Amino acid sequence: MKTYGLIGKNISYSFSRNYFNNKFNNENILNSQYINFDIDNLSKLNDIFNRDNYGFNVTIPYKEAIISYLDSLDFHAEKIGAVNTIKIENGKKIGLNTDWIGFKKSIEPLLKSYHKKALILGTGGASKAVMYALDQLQIEHLIVSRNGKTPYEDLSEEIILNHTIIINCTPVGTFPNVDSAPEIPYNFITNNHLAYDLIYNPAETLFLKKCKEKGAVIKNGLEMLEIQAEESWKIWNS
Please state, in angstroms and rounded to a whole number, the distance separating the CA atoms of residues 235 and 83: 13
Confidence of residue 13 (pLDDT cuts 50, 70, 90): confident
Which residues are CB-neighbours of 156 under 8 A, at least 6 positions away? 185
Confidence of residue 87 (pLDDT cuts 50, 70, 90): very high
The confidence score (pLDDT) of residue 74 equals 96
Q: Residues 65, 50: contact at Cβ < 8 Å?
A: no
pLDDT of residue 155 exceeding 90 = yes
pLDDT of residue 115 exceeding 90 = yes
pLDDT of residue 51 exceeding 90 = no
Please state, in angstroms and rounded to a whole number, the distance separating the CA atoms of residues 106 and 103: 5
The 3-state secondary structure of the chain reads: CEEEEEEECCCCCCHHHHHHHHHHHHCCCCCEEEEEEECCCHHHHHHHHCCCEEEEEECCCCCCHHHHHCCEECHHHHHHCCCCEEEEECCEEEEECCHHHHHHHHHHHHCCCCCCEEEEECCCHHHHHHHHHHHHCCCEEEEECCCCCCCHHHCCHHHHHHCCEEEECCCCCCCCCCCCCCCCCHHHCCCCCEEEECCCCCCCCHHHHHHHHCCCEEECCHHHHHHHHHHHHHHHCC
What is the sign of the dihedral through the CA atoms of 69, 74, 78 and 81?
negative
Please state, in angstroms and rounded to a whole number, the distance separating the CA atoms of residues 222 and 48: 27
The confidence score (pLDDT) of residue 148 equals 82
pLDDT of residue 96 exceeding 90 = yes
Q: Residues 106, 224: contact at Cβ < 8 Å?
A: yes
pLDDT in tens, 159-179: 999 999 999 999 999 989 999
Mean per-residue pLDDT, 119-130: 94
Tell me which residue of 199, 33, 36 sits closest to 124, measured CA to CA.
Answer: 199
Instruction: Please state, in angstroms and as integers, the Cα–Cα distance from residue 190 to each residue in 162, 195, 210, 233, following that order.
Output: 11, 10, 11, 38
Mean per-residue pLDDT, 129-140: 98
pLDDT of residue 12 exceeding 90 = no
Confidence of residue 95 (pLDDT cuts 50, 70, 90): very high
**Domains in the chain with CATH codes:** 2-97 (3.40.50.10860), 101-224 (3.40.50.720)
The confidence score (pLDDT) of residue 14 equals 84
pLDDT in tens, 29-46: 999 999 999 999 999 898
The confidence score (pLDDT) of residue 146 equals 87
The confidence score (pLDDT) of residue 28 equals 97
Confidence of residue 65 (pLDDT cuts 50, 70, 90): very high
For residues 232 and 50, which has the higher predicted lDDT (pLDDT)?
232
Confidence of residue 98 (pLDDT cuts 50, 70, 90): very high
Mean pLDDT score of the chain: 95
Tell me which residue of 168, 162, 238 sits closest to 206, measured CA to CA.
Answer: 168
Enzyme catalytic residues: 63
Confidence of residue 193 (pLDDT cuts 50, 70, 90): very high
Neighbouring CB atoms inside 10 A of 134's CB total: 21
